[in-house]
Every structure is written in structure tokens, then in C-alpha cells.
Amino acid sequence: MFQTFRIAKYAKDFIALSTLAGAAYIWIILGSAFVG
């Protein structure tokens, strides 16, 4: 039970991080498009 909870926590953190990375990537693309 504890192991499953830990895996779920890691998965949630990973999803949050990948979402943030995706948002940052989109902002960089938009920024370079406006600047360039």
C-alpha cells in the first residue's frame, strides 16, 4: 500500500514537472517568434 502511494506521488510530481516544462517550452517558442 505504501509503495503504491509513493509511486503515485512520484507520477504526480513527474506529470506536474512535464506540464511545467511543456508550458516553458511553449513560452520560449512564442517569445522567440515575437523577438525574431
The one-digit pLDDT tens for each residue of the chain (36 residues) are 678 889 999 999 999 999 999 999 999 999 999 887
pLDDT confidence of residue 24: 97
pTM above 0.85, yes or no: no
Residue whose C-alpha cell is 511553449: 26
Q: Apex CA 10: angle with CA 29 and CA 28, to 5°? A: 5
Give dist(CA 9, CA 15) in Å, integer: 10
pLDDT confidence of residue 35: 85
